[in-house]
Structure formats: structure tokens, C-alpha cells
Amino acid sequence: MKRTLLLFMAFCFSSLVYGQYITPGTGVSWTFNDLVQESGGVVTIDNGIFTVHQNLTVSLTDTLRVVENETIKFDPIILLTVKGVFIADAPNQSLFTVSSEDQFFKGFRFESSHASVIRNCVIEYAGGIQIIGSQMLLEGNTIRLFNRSNTTGAIQVSNGRTWIKNNEIHQNHGPAIASASNGAAAPQIFNNNIWSNNTGNTNAPQINLGSASGDTIRIIGNTIIGQYPMAGGIAVSTLIGGGCVSIVEDNYIENNRYGYAAIGNNIYSIVRNNQIFDNDIQNEPNLGGSGLNFNGGTTNTGIVSFNEISGNLWGITLQGSATPNLGDMSNPDVHPGGNKFYDNGNDGQIFAMYNNTAQDQLAQNNYWGYNDVDSVEMVIVHQPDDPALGFVDYLPIMVLNPVLTGDANCDGEVDVLDIICISNYILGHNPEPFCFENADINGDGIIDLLDIIRTANIILRLD
């Protein structure tokens, strides 16, 4: 009887661990070569390429390292779970991909893995990178062609601060970076090139974040270019509770359903020095198309300054009782204004600002596409247009001459002559006149081919 019981217990234990390998949790630093020797066939190697055949878990005190230029393939639906530390930091590049064509592996799951690093990797055909309570780093990677079998976003963060820097994130089925509305996550998103995500064309932006639970979200220096009509640029939402501070700075946001949206209560947005162009891809004014949108109660507020917003269906829209400050000359050090709104509109009408709230709004010292007050009044919808709406205090206005982005030769127009002017500058011919700020369309301080391409895009839109 005793022998039968022992056999039954052994069978139950083997059933629990069958089809996976869990490192023993003895504080050992592992490589994939080590796993080939120790995992009982869960990890194999053939012609220098590793393949993971069953689920793999790095235990709490263990470390798994990829420090050479290696290729690691995963069989379909396989998941790598990290409870200890995972360091992938090849000198040039490592590849994580699926082992079978037209399939996906499940991806990665990090649990309280604060010291983990993924750097210089290509990760493709996965179901998502799930990061739970982990202050880890993703830097210099290419993250592409994910489905959503593991997470909604290609990178899904919750309960912690994850650093996401200098990555290429593109053509994923869901958002590039996401957190739940109550996820208590504060990702630090710096200098990434994010494009053509949400290939599933669902109602979701490329960066889709929720509550930060007292921490600060930073989205700084990114390029976010859309392709699919339902995909917005950036959204921060607290619709099911919580709150956040969101710093959105020095980004280039183009060709999305909308630019930046702050939706819910207890949101403080600092939105400055962004270029937000042509976010009109859905072309449904009642459903989106704002360069900036603030929608919530009176605790949905913040500072909006020194942004350039053009070519959207709406420049900025305010809904509910939201009250972001666009400029207050009684306190210019904190609320300087300095935004440029021009050529935003739909159905043949220009809409620089639509105050669809009963709240009075401060929006002083901004350029609204015109240098005279009468013309500015025509492109701001507020109390004079509807007594139920709050008043927008937009005086004084900021006067320009006017300067258009892409107007490299400073002649007041954006045309093929500006492309020639930028080309001559790149070739070292020192054209005169040359307006550097106008030619530097993406605001990176460098005049290069990207500025020529974006000038051409502006010309096509203006034509």
C-alpha cells in the first residue's frame, strides 16, 4: 500500500512538470548551452541554433544569460517565464523567433524581475512580452510581427516602472506598448521608433496606458507613425480608477487616428515640444482626428506648451470638464503657451480649438494660424458660439509671420523649392536664406533625408 501511494505521488509530480523545464533555483547563472545539457530535451541545439520545445521557467534566484550573437527559436505556443533574471545583451544582435513558418510562440513573461535586460535583440512572431512588477530595461531592440496570444500590447506592463529605450517597434497586431487602465504601471518610453502597429485595426492607439498609481509616465523623443484607421497615437486612460502624471515631450506623431488623448479623471498631462501632424487617417470627425484631446472631469488637467499641431481634423478638443492650461501670461514661467495650431479642420472648416465643456479655459500666447484676432476667433469654438460652452481666453495671441514647417527657404510657402533648399544644405552648399528650424521637421537638430521626406509629405497634403 505504501509503495502504491509513493508511485501515485511520483506520477502526480511528473504530470505537473511534464512538458516544461524549471531551473532549480539554486542561484546558478545559466546559458542556453547549459540548458541543452540539463533540460532533458526541452532545449536543443542544431547547427548553432537553439530551439526551445517546451515551456521554460527561470526560477527566482537563477539567471539566464544570452551574451553572444545567438539565434533562439521557440516551438509554437511556447512561453519563457522569468521569475529570476534574464539578460540578453549580445555584442551585435541576437534573434528570438518561432521555429515554424506561419506560427507564433507565446512570448515572454517577467515576474518581479528587476535586474532583467533585453538589449540588441530582434524578437519576432511572439504573442507578447508581459512585464509584471519588473523594473527592467528593453533597449536597442526590434520588436515586430507579434500576435496577441500572450498580451494585448507587444510590450505589456503592469505594477512597476519599465525602461523602453531606442527600440524599433512595428507591425504588431495590437498596440506597441500597453498597460491596463488599473495596471499601476509607469513605463519610461524614450526615443523609440514606433510605426504601423495595431495591424488588427481595433480601437486602440499605438501607445495605450492606464493608471500609474502615483508614479510618472514619460513618453519622450519618440516617433509614432500610423497606418491603420482605428489606431491612435498615444492615449492615457483612467476610466476604471487610479490616476497618473504623464509627460509627453519631444515626440513626432503623424498619420494616426488621433495624436494624444487623456481620458478619465486624476490625469495631469505635461504635453510640450511635440510635433503632431496629419492625424486624420480615419477621417471621421465625430469619432476622432484630434491633435490633442482631453476628456474627463476637472481633475483632467495639465500644461500644454510649445507644440506644433497641424493637419488634424481638430487641433485640440476639450470634453467633459477637462481643463488643461494652454497658456497663462500671469504666470508665463509655468504656463508659457507657445503652441502653433494651423491647418486643422474638417468638412471645409478650420477648427483650431473646440472647447466642448462648460469650463472656462486659459489658452494665451498661442499661434492659431492667423495673425489677427478676428480670424482667430473664427477657428476657436467656445462661449460666443454656444452659451452652454465655457469661454476660451486666448488673448494675447502669438504672432508669426507666418512660419510653416518645411518652409526651408523662408518664403512663406512649402513647395519643391524647399526640398531643393534642404538638399543643398545637406550637400554643404549653404543656401541663403535658410531657416534651420523650419527645415528640421522632426526636431532632432539634424537636417537629413527624413526632413526631405516629411517636407514632401507636407507638400502632398497642401496640394
Question: pLDDT tens for residues 137-180?
Answer: 999 999 999 999 999 999 999 998 999 999 999 999 999 999 98
Same domain, 430 and 376: no
Rg from Cα positions in the chain: 26
The gap between the terminal CA atoms of the chain, to the nearest Å, is 88
Residue 2 lies in a domain: no
Residue 398 lies in a domain: no
* Set of cell numbers at residue 414: 512649402
The backbone torsions φ and ψ at residue 283, rounded to the nearest 5 degrees and listed phi first, read 60, 40
Please tell me the total count of domains within the chain. Answer: 2
Q: What is the pTM of this model?
A: 0.86
The backbone torsions φ and ψ at residue 5, rounded to the nearest 5 degrees and listed phi first, read -65, -40
Residue 133's alpha-carbon distances to 160, 234, 256, in angstroms, are 5, 22, 30
DSSP assignments along 248-284, one per residue = EES-EEESSS-SEEEESSSEEEEEES-EEE---SS--
pLDDT over threshold 70, residue 367: yes
Same domain, 129 and 268: yes
Residue 6 lies in a domain: no
Same domain, 281 and 239: yes
Domain extent at residue 302: 20-393
Q: CA angle, corner 448, sides to 442 and 454, nearest 5?
A: 45
Q: Is 411 in contact with 435 (CB distance < 8 Å)?
A: no
For the chain, the average pLDDT equals: 93
The region of weakest confidence among 114-118, 132-136, 424-428, 432-436 is 432-436
Same domain, 444 and 345: no
Same domain, 60 and 198: yes
pLDDT over threshold 50, residue 14: no
pLDDT over threshold 50, residue 439: yes
Residue 352 lies in a domain: yes
The region of weakest confidence among 215-229, 340-354, 437-451 is 437-451
What pLDDT score does 191 carry?
Answer: 98
Picking from 259, 322, 337, 327, the residue whose alpha carbon sits closest to that of residue 291 is: 259
Same domain, 214 and 137: yes
Residue 403 lies in a domain: no
Type and span of the H or E element at 451: helix 449-462
What pLDDT score does 462 carry?
Answer: 47
Same domain, 101 and 237: yes
Type and span of the H or E element at 35: helix 32-38
Q: Is 230 in contact with 257 (CB distance < 8 Å)?
A: yes
The backbone torsions φ and ψ at residue 293, rounded to the nearest 5 degrees and listed phi first, read -135, 130
Quick count: other Cβ atoms within 10 Å of Cβ 386?
11
* Set of cell numbers at residue 310: 497641424
Residue 201 lies in a domain: yes
Residue 333: partners with Cβ closer than 8 Å, 6 or more residues away = none
What pLDDT score does 441 carry?
Answer: 85
Same domain, 303 and 436: no
> pLDDT-derived band of residue 49, with 50, 70 and 90 as boundaries?
very high
pLDDT-above-70 percentage for the chain: 95
Q: What is the CATH number of the domain that holds 332?
A: 2.160.20
Same domain, 324 and 374: yes
Cis omega (within 30 of 0) for bond into 229:
no
Phi-psi region of 364 (alpha: psi -120 to 50; beta: other; left: phi over 0): beta
Residue 411 lies in a domain: no
| Interhelix angle 449-462/416-426, nearest 10 degrees | 180
Q: Is 219 in contact with 248 (CB distance < 8 Å)?
A: yes
Does 13 or 312 have the greater pLDDT score?
312
pLDDT over threshold 60, residue 101: yes
Same domain, 103 and 215: yes
- Distance between CA 109 and CA 395 in Å, rounded? 52
Residue 192's alpha-carbon distances to 161, 189, 199, 208, in angstroms, are 17, 7, 18, 15
Residue 7 lies in a domain: no
Residue 202's alpha-carbon distances to 205, 229, 235, in angstroms, are 9, 9, 14
Cis omega (within 30 of 0) for bond into 205:
no
Q: Is 135 in contact with 160 (CB distance < 8 Å)?
A: yes
The region of weakest confidence among 14-28, 318-332, 350-364 is 14-28
Same domain, 429 and 388: no
Picking from 293, 273, 224, the residue whose alpha carbon sits closest to that of residue 252 is: 224
Per-residue pLDDT reduced to its tens digit, 389-415: 999 999 999 998 655 788 998 887 889
Per-residue pLDDT reduced to its tens digit, 207-260: 999 999 778 999 999 999 999 999 999 999 999 889 999 999 999 999 999 999
DSSP assignments along 417-443, one per residue = HHHHHHHHHHTT---SS--HHHH-TT-
DSSP assignments along 50-90, one per residue = EEE-SEEEE-TT-EEEE-SS-EEEE-TT-EEEESSEEEEEE
Same domain, 389 and 447: no
Dihedral angle, C-alpha 100, 106, 107, 108, nearest 10 °:
-140
What pLDDT score does 461 carry?
Answer: 67
- Distance between CA 229 and CA 372 in Å, rounded? 35
